Amino acid sequence: MKRIFYLDGQPVPFTSGQNVLEAAIAAGMARQIPYFCYHPALGSLGACRQCAVKIYPHDDKHPPRVTMACLLPASDHLQLATVDQEVHTEHRKIIELLMLNHPLDCPVCDEGGQCHLQDMTVQTGHAVRRYSGPKRTYRDQDLGPLVHQEMNRCITCYRCVRFYQDTAQGDDFGVFGSRDRVYFGRLEDGPLESPFSGNLVEVCPTGVFTDKVFRHDYARVWDLQQGPSVCPHCAVGCNTLPGARLGTLRRVRARHHPEINPHFLCDRGRYGFRYVTAAERPVRARLHGVHSRQDAVLRQVATRLQEGRSGFLGSPREDVQSNLALFALADCLHAPFAALSSPWMEALAQQCMALPQAPTLNDVEMADHLIVLGDLGGVAPMAELAARQALRHGARLTVLASRPTALAEAGDYRPTRPSALPDLVTGLAEDACLQGSRRPVILAAAETLGPAGVHALRKTLARLPANARAGVFQNSPNLFGAAYFAADGHTVRLQHALRQREIDHLLCLAADPLGSDWGAGIWRSLAPGLQGVTVLDMVDTDTVRAAETVLPMAAFPERDGLFINYEGRIQAFAPVYRREAQVPSWQENTRGFPAAAGGQMHPLGPPTPQYWLGRLAELLDIVKPWQERLTFYQRFLCPIAPRPDHPGILLDDALRARFEIAAAPAAAPVGTEDWELDLFRWHGGEALADAAAELQSLAPSRGLRLNADVDASFATLSGPCGRLRLPVLPIVGMVAGVAALDQEGFAQLGLHPGEAVQIQWETVS
């Protein structure tokens, strides 16, 4: 039966557990009840006293009374009114009180136009200020490069501190003082430490916390072009709402996805977008390192391809269609193709594909027991945020990692060597820690677990009760999309062809084989056999700098496409704006002719990868077969592509099941005396986000992280592909015999997490 109550005589549907305000907002009747401190993710507090309604009790013993809608549980046939003199007075007086100290600075406030306080003030009709006394003022803090603070605008709704301390469980931000002098900030100036700090900007209903990056290149919200997009910075695939103006991307906000990210984003997702505006971003075609005409560069690439000595390399950083377009081109030319840069990654991708359906982040929040393998927060921060919500609901947490990660501090930390993970995962089915849990969820950092570990995880899941679920994460947006093309041995075959001098040209799509991609060490050793490298990319990489031909690509918010996230969910993103090439003002008069005169008024930004590949197909005279293959594969992979504002479609189970036959990967044995490597990532790090200056100013220093007992200042690591000297960074509580290294380091050495490494120590006094 549908449950309803009545608000001003209109029926409002509700579900049990909802309060009146929540139900009214859900029913689109929020205009009747102004509110501040209630937030769907943070719940009710009753602090602001703004959400008054009048309740008419069913009995005649009690007179009607004014009460707070956010604290009133919805119940059947409740009679409520807001069209009432008393309620109206309450609404007006409360907002007048809240506005007493508020500065009259809307014209210079970044929140203006998207301000809840502004909306509520107008909505309740508070238009004239009667108070003319002195206002309470504060000194603002410098909270780092991401969030700007302007404390005088505060209305003490406590949303910020509830988000920061309760939801995100951060401990460097709080609320100080009492009475009418309450301050929301840090103990002292300094950057906010939470990986979710940017959400303060969205939860604060006033202009106290605003986006400091957006501030540098600000536009009023009504001037922004916005559109549905998907975060490209990790496998979670949070939904985003980028905003652009005059051909430049200005900010990213969270877009509601009921099962992934109903309200929030991590700071990588919010601030990583600055790769789009980075000065180093390749935006013009290059031939031998010099900006050249598109046609000249394309002709050079076509000549290379015509020689029939080319190999193709795709990437999990690129969307489905671009990888498809590349695959189709390779197919037409009968050239070797690999979607992933290393056989290890290929095996990992296949094992991830073969896993049974992963839990949504919503499911993770509902878990009653969590087992986390590796540093989840460094890879997929929003997955960590979901895990923290489960903790708040009383879930137990066991963390198997080589170092006490932020999440490990909140649960039972079991120091673990990465090489031991496959065996430990196998043992989980018998482990006492899972006994008695009703909704156990295992979350893992894919690369730390490795192919053998993910394989063990699948076998373990088969032995666990059916309610046990597992999700495996890494930090590229489309591993599943790329894994689809990653048949066994593709990468090996491509590398073999290069080694045998069968090919001497490599066409890379958003891959960085000569830089920091997995397996880059091998590629670098093979590089002397390359006559030329062609790269399509949207960030500056080692490979871009070394390439013979560079074809710049549109960034994700500048085009449409599909990503497949860690659940196998196919999500579409739409073009939000069109980048216009940035022409320095002194060149104003040398711009192209107006369109009427046969020229371009606004030179367009970099085209999509499909455009480039299509042009190449044209030059090679294979447009028809290329397009046929493209359509065929796309129909096969996602017969019905979702629309950009759709919550996404899950990859067909049958498609995934075929990866179950992939050979069980073997992990190299590591002796207990050996030093072994684990992967170090931080919450802001990822190939694209690495080009976001503001975010990267917070990056932890580079070095080799290991147990604080080791007495050395520098370490020289040697691997099959090279050596690397790094400063030693001591970590208290880290497992002895494990050293954590960034992906770049792994690439240079030619090693993978959980593998043994030779280390020479140096002590500098």
Partner 1 sequence: MSSPISIADLQDTALIARLQALVAESPVPAAAISAVLYTLQDARGYIDDVALHAAAQLTGLSPVRVEELCTFYSLVLRAPAGRHVLRICDSIACHLAGAQDLLAQAQAYSGVALGEVGLRGALTVVPHVCIGLCDRAPALLVDGEAAGPVDATSLAQWLEQWEADAWKPS
**Chain residues in the site for ligand SF4 (CB under 6 A):** 154-160, 184, 203-206, 208-209, 231, 233-234, 236-238, 265-266, 268-269, 380-382
User: Rounded to the nearest whole angstrom, what is the least distance from the CB of residue 700 to partner 1 in the complex?
Assistant: 13
29: CB partners within 8 A, 6+ apart = 7, 10, 12
Nearer Cβ to partner 1 (115/146): 146
**Site for partner 1 contains 187 (CB under 8 A):** yes
Nearer Cβ to ligand FES (81/454): 81
Nearer Cβ to partner 1 (665/684): 684
Q: What residues line the site for ligand FES (CB under 6 A)?
A: 35-38, 46-51, 68, 70
User: Rounded to the nearest whole angstrom, what is the least distance from the CB of residue 184 to ligand FES in the complex?
Assistant: 16
Binds partner 1 (CB under 8 A): choice among 126, 159, 186, 255: 186
User: Rounded to the nearest whole angstrom, what is the least distance from the CB of residue 94 to partner 1 in the complex?
Assistant: 20
- Contacts to partner 1 from residues 188-247, by CB under 8 A: 193
Q: Which H, E and C letters describe 513-563, residue by residue? A: CCCCCCCHHHHHHHHHHCCEEEEEECCCCHHHHHCCEEEECCCHHHCCEEE
User: Rounded to the nearest whole angstrom, what is the least distance from the CB of residue 160 to partner 1 in the complex?
Assistant: 13
Residue 131: CB atoms within 10 A of its CB come to: 11
Among ligand FES, partner 1, ligand SF4, none, what binds residue 50 when CB lies within 5 to 8 Å by partner kind? Answer: ligand FES
Nearer Cβ to partner 1 (113/404): 404
- Nearest-5° Cα angle at 273, 221 to 582: 80
Among ligand SF4, partner 1, ligand FES, none, what binds residue 172 when CB lies within 5 to 8 Å by partner kind? Answer: partner 1
Nearer Cβ to partner 1 (56/176): 176
User: Rounded to the nearest whole angstrom, what is the least distance from the CB of residue 381 to ligand SF4 in the complex?
Assistant: 5
Stretch that binds partner 1, among 186-194, 336-344, 701-709, 745-753 (CB under 8 A): 186-194
Question: Which residue has tokens 């992967």?
Answer: 679
Distance, in Å, from the CA atom of 282 to the CA atom of 133, rounded to the nearest integer, reads 56
**Site for partner 1 contains 174 (CB under 8 A):** yes
Tabulate helix, strand, coil % of the chain (nearest 5): 35, 20, 45
User: Rounded to the nearest whole angstrom, what is the least distance from the CB of residue 44 to ligand FES in the complex?
Assistant: 6
**Site for partner 1 contains 171 (CB under 8 A):** yes
Bridge partners (DSSP) listed for residue 6: 11, 79
Q: What would the DSSP string read from start to end of 134-189?
A: PPP--------SSEEE-GGG-----HHHIIIIIIS--SS-EEEEETTEEEEE-SSS
Among ligand FES, ligand SF4, partner 1, none, what binds residue 173 when CB lies within 5 to 8 Å by partner kind? Answer: partner 1
Nearer Cβ to ligand FES (21/551): 21
Among ligand SF4, ligand FES, partner 1, none, what binds residue 38 when CB lies within 5 to 8 Å by partner kind? Answer: ligand FES
Stretch that binds partner 1, among 185-193, 237-245, 454-462, 622-630 (CB under 8 A): 185-193
Binds partner 1 (CB under 8 A): choice among 8, 119, 172, 694: 172
Q: Are 297 and 549 in contact (CB under 8 A)?
A: yes
Q: In the β-sheet with 412-415, what is the strand arrangement from edge to edge?
A: 412-415, 396-401, 369-373, 440-445, 469-473
Among ligand SF4, partner 1, ligand FES, none, what binds residue 68 when CB lies within 5 to 8 Å by partner kind? Answer: ligand FES
Among partner 1, ligand FES, ligand SF4, none, what binds residue 268 when CB lies within 5 to 8 Å by partner kind? Answer: ligand SF4
In single-letter form, the type of residue at position 556 comes to: F
**Site for partner 1 contains 176 (CB under 8 A):** yes
**Site for partner 1 contains 148 (CB under 8 A):** no
User: Rounded to the nearest whole angstrom, what is the least distance from the CB of residue 171 to partner 1 in the complex?
Assistant: 4
Among partner 1, ligand FES, ligand SF4, none, what binds residue 176 when CB lies within 5 to 8 Å by partner kind? Answer: partner 1
User: Rounded to the nearest whole angstrom, what is the least distance from the CB of residue 128 to ligand SF4 in the complex?
Assistant: 22
Stretch that binds partner 1, among 176-184, 323-331, 477-485, 666-674 (CB under 8 A): 176-184
Among ligand SF4, partner 1, ligand FES, none, what binds residue 48 when CB lies within 5 to 8 Å by partner kind? Answer: ligand FES
**Site for partner 1 contains 592 (CB under 8 A):** no
Among partner 1, ligand FES, ligand SF4, none, what binds residue 35 when CB lies within 5 to 8 Å by partner kind? Answer: ligand FES
DSSP at 62: S
Distance, in Å, from the CA atom of 681 to the CA atom of 235, rounded to the nearest integer, reads 14
User: Rounded to the nearest whole angstrom, what is the least distance from the CB of residue 713 to ligand SF4 in the complex?
Assistant: 34
User: Rounded to the nearest whole angstrom, what is the least distance from the CB of residue 724 to ligand FES in the complex?
Assistant: 55
User: Rounded to the nearest whole angstrom, what is the least distance from the CB of residue 500 to ligand SF4 in the complex?
Assistant: 39
User: Rounded to the nearest whole angstrom, what is the least distance from the CB of residue 179 to partner 1 in the complex?
Assistant: 8
Beta strand residue intervals within 288-423, DSSP E: 290-291, 310-313, 337-338, 369-373, 396-401, 412-415
Nearer Cβ to partner 1 (178/765): 178
Distance, in Å, from the CA atom of 557 to the CA atom of 383, rounded to the nearest integer, reads 23
Helix or strand run (H / E) with residue 244: strand 239-245
Collapse the DSSP code of 570 into the 3-class scheme (helix H, G, I; strand E, B; otherwise coil) and give the result.
strand
Q: Are 417 and 433 in contact (CB under 8 A)?
A: no
Distance, in Å, from the CA atom of 407 to the CA atom of 415, rounded to the nearest integer, reads 13
Q: How far does Cα 320 stand from its chain's mean position?
A: 17
Q: Are 570 and 475 in contact (CB under 8 A)?
A: no
User: Rounded to the nearest whole angstrom, what is the least distance from the CB of residue 149 to partner 1 in the complex?
Assistant: 15
User: Which of 519, 452, 473 lies closest to 313, judged by CA?
Assistant: 519
Nearer Cβ to partner 1 (199/474): 199
Binds partner 1 (CB under 8 A): choice among 11, 13, 177, 599: 177
Among ligand FES, ligand SF4, partner 1, none, what binds residue 761 when CB lies within 5 to 8 Å by partner kind? Answer: none
* 269-to-115, 161, 557, 644 alpha-carbon distances in Å: 22, 21, 13, 18
User: Rounded to the nearest whole angstrom, what is the least distance from the CB of residue 68 to ligand FES in the complex?
Assistant: 5
Q: Cα-atom radius of gyration of the chain, to the nearest Å?
A: 28
Distance, in Å, from the CA atom of 7 to the CA atom of 121, rounded to the nearest integer, reads 21
User: Which of 251, 31, 321, 372 lies closest to 694, judged by CA?
Assistant: 251
Tokens read off for 283: 């935006």
Binds partner 1 (CB under 8 A): choice among 16, 132, 178, 585: 178
Collapse the DSSP code of 300 into the 3-class scheme (helix H, G, I; strand E, B; otherwise coil) and give the result.
helix
Nearer Cβ to ligand FES (49/439): 49
Q: Are 676 and 418 in contact (CB under 8 A)?
A: yes
Q: How far does Cα 373 stand from its chain's mean position?
A: 19
Collapse the DSSP code of 686 into the 3-class scheme (helix H, G, I; strand E, B; otherwise coil) and give the result.
coil
Distance, in Å, from the CA atom of 732 to the CA atom of 458, rounded to the nearest integer, reads 33
Tokens read off for 99: 């506005």
User: Rounded to the nearest whole angstrom, what is the least distance from the CB of residue 209 to ligand SF4 in the complex?
Assistant: 6
Contact residues toward partner 1 (CB under 8 A) are 171-179, 183, 186-187, 193
